Structure 1
Amino acid sequence: MLYLQLLYRCNFTCLHCFHGKRLQYADAFTADEAVGLLTLMRDEYGTEAVTLLGGEPFVHRDLSQVVRHAKEELGQRVEICTNGYRIERRLTEIAPHLDLLRVSLEGVGSTNDGIRRHGSYQSALDSLRLARDLGVPTGATMTVTSRNIGEVLPLAGVLAGLGVRQLKLHHLRPVGNAADHPELLVTDPASYGRLREELASAELPLEVIVDEDLSEHGAPQLCAPTGGPHEIDRIEADPRGALTMSCKAVGKDSHAFWYEKSAGRIVHKPSVTDELTLAVPDVVYARA
């Protein structure tokens, strides 16, 4: 899958956002540049799916054009990851071309709104409800923090009631805005163990996918590929064209590869701090 960050711009400034000050940057893919990268990744590297994200993808003026091309011309599975804030009109427009709408939430009610934006919780639920009514499968993501670790199961229950199929739990990485909010970090790893026990014993009607860093002893150390043929599950492209293979490298400017938008090609720009040289571990996900 290609994770394509269409732009940095967002209508939120979430406390944990890995983009940080880049939310103010103007870098973005044009529709033609996005289509060029999607086509290149499919033809040369065999990508089968794309997740469009940002920033906030629904504020990109050409989102509908990119979605339609990815689905109709390239035959890709198309997902969007969004904050779900006031997206009703555009969601209705692209629903026939969408395979999954994934909405980010950080807890129930005021917990979510305190991290994301006032009114965002209800708006996100409204978007999930609309997607269900339009026949679009839905999922959700949550970044586990000190504020919301006790609300994973309650949120899962709310989501299940809306027909959401999957909740994906992320580990908080102290980059971007999160670096300015150390109070969000979970300082007692044993609390991850308790969360895992609760998830294992709960009979939830939706799938829960967990970043394995959300465990008492951390995730297995799987490193980025270093030589020889190797297949990876994902590539993430930021709005500048920088390509990243591991979520743990996102937000750290440790890119070894770049998509040159004007030339329509991928180039290797090695450095002493890139994710290959540093062997940045990949993120490992598993079912709870």
Structure 2
Amino acid sequence: MISEVTGIRRIRMLYLQLLYRCNFECLHCFHGQRLQHADAFTADEAINLLALMRDQYGTEAVTLLGGEPFVYRDLTQVVQYAKRDLGLRVEICTNGYRIERRLTEIAPDLDLLRVSLEGIGSTNDHIRKFGSYRSALSALEIAQRLGVRAGATMTVTSRNIEEVLPLARVLQGYGVEQLKLHCLRPVGNAAAHPELLITDPAAYTRLRGRLDAADLEIEVIVDEDLSEGGASDACLPDGGPVEIERIEADPRGALTMSCKAVGKDSHAFWYDKLADHIDHRPSPTDELTLAVPDVVYARV
């Protein structure tokens, strides 16, 4: 259905939100009140969607997230099927809180563990949860010991922009290969915390300058919206791309192609879990009608 409507024939990666439930209530979380919702994929539904995406759209990788994917009961089953049966590259994005036992279970089938951090020590813990910084570093230590490649993500806010470079240096010491920096989008919990927004776009230019001069070993990938001019407006025009980088499935089955549309209920496509089929459900506010731009990333 996606190819018929948009002309897109290949989608490289599926971001699969397995469930809304989480053991954190981060100040910037785009899910907001949905963290309290019970919607989730069953293991069979998740496996069916993975197989559909591989067979119909040539999907070669999956990032499992939530909520918190490590509280998902059938995580091991989904990871093993994605890797062993479908041959997908498997990543997990996690808060890294007390995941040691389950990480050890899935390590042989995991290509990348990506841990979310929002700064160093108390800066991170204020946004996420008390004790979460030390727990995340412990998870990275275990990943290193298990031979699992590790990355990290950080949402840049007014509270932590000065700690991007110090955090990158800390992560290098834990064998982390890559730090991905996101722009804060005022949806979900972040809508209730406008103090986290950066009001001086020149702060992004200063940040990029510090990163360029730092000569880091870790690769830093930066959302182009973290710049004074913002990212270019590129999305899904008529006659647009035949291949895109990603699509995200939320726990209800809503599918979103633009990171900037995630959390805004602007999806044009749904995965019907019972029928194992993707439906086009257009609306006046969907991402295709509004031509919501995708997120562009650059390597520093």
TM-score, normalised to structure 1's length? 0.99
Per-residue Cα deviation, 1:113-161 (whole angstroms, up to 9, x for no partner): 0000000000000000100100000000000000000000000000000
The reply on whether 1:12 has 2:24 as its aligned counterpart is yes
Other structure's SS at 1:232 match: strand
1:110 aligns with 2:122: yes
Distance 2:65 2:159 in 1: 24
Residue 50 of structure 1 corresponds to 62
Query: Of residues 69, 83, 89 in structure 1, which corresponds to 2:95?
Result: 83
* 1:218 corresponding residue in structure 2: 230
Alpha-carbon distance, 1:255 to partner: 0.6
Of residues 205, 209, 219, the one that matches 1:207 is 219
Where relative contact order (Cα < 8 A, 6+ residues apart) is larger, the structure is: 2
Give the 3-state SS of the residue equivalent to 1:234 in structure 2.
strand
Deviation at 1:224, TM superposition (A): 2.4
What is the distance in 2 between the residues matched to 1:227 and 1:55?
A: 35
Q: Which runs of 4+ in 1 moved over 3 A?
A: 225-229
Is 1:138 the counterpart of 2:150? The answer is: yes
Q: Shift in Å at residue 191 of structure 1?
A: 0.4
Counterpart for residue 161 of structure 1: 173
- Residue 270 (str. 1) matches residue 286 (str. 2): no
> CA offsets per residue over residues 220-244 of structure 1, 9 Å max, x none?
1112243466211100000000000
Of residues 161, 177, 182 in structure 2, which corresponds to 1:170?
182
Query: Equivalent pairs: percent with the same residue?
Result: 79
Query: Aligned partners of 1:56, 1:284: CA distance in 2, in Å?
Result: 25
Q: Distance in 1 between matches of 2:25 and 2:129?
A: 8
Q: Deviations over 1:94-116 (max 9, x none)?
A: 00000000000000000000000
Given candidates 129, 143, 147, the residue that maps to 2:141 is 129
Q: Give 3-state SS (helix, strand or coil) of 2:243's partner.
A: coil
Q: Any idea what the Cα deviations from partners look like across 1:157-196, whole Å, max 9, x if unmatched? A: 0000000000000000000000000000000000000000
Report the residue type matching 1:191 in the other structure. Answer: A
Q: Provide Cα deviations, 1:8-57, integer angstroms capped at 9, x if missing partner.
A: 00000000000000000000000000000000000000000000000000
Task: Tell me the residue number matched to 1:29.
Answer: 41
2:30 & 2:91 partners in 1: Cα distance? 20
Q: Distance in 1 between matches of 2:235 and 2:37?
A: 31
Count of paired positions: 288
Conserved? CA contact 1:226–1:276, under 8 Å = no
* TM score, norm. by length of structure 2: 0.95
State how far apart, in whole Å, the 2-side matches of 1:107 and 1:228 are. 38
Q: Counterpart in 2 of 1:197?
A: 209
For 1:52-81, what per-residue CA distance to the aligned partner results, in whole angstroms no more than 9, with x for missing partners? 000000000000000000000000000000
Residue 86 of structure 2 aligns with an amino acid whose one-letter code is L
- Counterpart of 1:239 in structure 2 is 251
Measure the CA separation in 1 of the matches of 2:239 and 2:24.
40
Corresponding residue of 1:182? 194
Aligned to 2:159: 147
- Any idea what SS the aligned residue of 1:204 has? coil
Q: CA RMSD in A?
A: 0.8
Gaps of 5+ in 2: 1-12
